[in-house]
Amino acid sequence: MRFIVYGAGAVGGVLGAHLHLSGHPVVLIARGAHLSAIRERGLTLETGTGSRTMHVPAVAGPAEIEWRGGDVVLLAVKSQDTRAALEGLAASAPPGTRIVSLQNGVDNERQALRVFEHVYGVCVMSPTTHLTPGVVRADCHPVPGLLDIGRYPSGTDPVAEQVAAAFRDAGYRSEPRPDIMRWKYGKLLRNVGNAVDAVCGRAEGTQEIFQRVRLEAEAVLDAAGIAYTPADEDDERRADILKVVTGGSRGGGSSWQSLHRGTGHIEADYLSGEIVLVARLHGLPAPYNENACRWADRFAREGRRPGTLDPAEWLSTLPA
């Protein structure tokens, strides 16, 4: 089983490096300066025990790959890039290729199922950082993360078992779960605060906004009858496994990192935006999540530095 890691940024780059180090064949798909750095110098993985640079095959897109039967795509791009990634895969990868979504949000698997028959979701609990081309960092040690997997929309099969085993080979904790989307909706509730973290950082008053955004999201999912793992079940799964390395300089989550790198786009429309969509489909208000999307999109569009918005100003712009 060869792994094609589509999106070698924080999550994908760290996982790809660990899979490579554990002896699994890996091809990375990256872009821009990050791709150039990997090709020229190798991929540098920073962990709690130091850093290691390795030479992993890296390409700019699916068309550059000589596809084999049994290849598994680990889709690790941000949700706003999923459609373009799937279009590239559809043009090059065999129809029976397995697609495994390592992404936040709950819309990516549905998009993939339009194109490929065999789709799997992964609930990713793996704090990582990617700010410098060619360098990724695992922010937890010694276990870099939890990667539970299941078929989409539900169930497990031998491929899920094999992928979970490969993740465990690479040092992760991974279990096949037939209700993987329930876990991913639980993760979504943790991620709806990403947009607030990105624009307000850790300023006083931000935590109160986080709580209101999450409570609103829970109320919307409850009203829509969508199952999700409650916080205590999620916390029990994490337990004391995820130990953040204190020596790192992690400024914020994935959305914060997108603003820091100046990518010009952000994932908010598929996190808080998912809550807004569900709310509108059911005739419900979701002003906090709407505001989270609006501010995050504005920061990305205008190239503003992360963590520079006063929480009071954020609150002052809540929709009526």
Round to whole Å and give the CA distance between 303 and 207. 24
170 and 252 within one domain: no
pLDDT in tens, 211-227: 999 999 999 999 999 99
At 239 the pLDDT is: 81
At 250 the pLDDT is: 60
320 pLDDT exceeds 80?
Answer: no
192 and 301 within one domain: yes
33 and 159 within one domain: yes
What number is the average pLDDT over the span 72-101? 97
Round to whole Å and give the CA distance between 3 and 79. 20
Query: What sign does the dihedral 17-19-20-26 (CA atoms) show?
Result: negative
Predicted structure pTM score? 0.94
41 and 133 within one domain: yes
Query: What sign does the dihedral 187-192-197-202 (CA atoms) show?
Result: negative
219 and 254 within one domain: yes
193 and 158 within one domain: no
Task: Give the count of beta carbons closer than 10 Å to the beta carbon of residue 119.
Answer: 22
191 and 169 within one domain: no
At 246 the pLDDT is: 55
26 and 86 within one domain: yes
The enclosing domain of 192 has a CATH number of: 1.10.1040.10
29 and 165 within one domain: yes
Where does a domain end: 125, 159, 178? 178
177 pLDDT exceeds 70?
Answer: yes
Structural domain of residue 259, as residue ranges? 184-316
- 248 close to 262: Cβ distance less than 8 angstroms: no
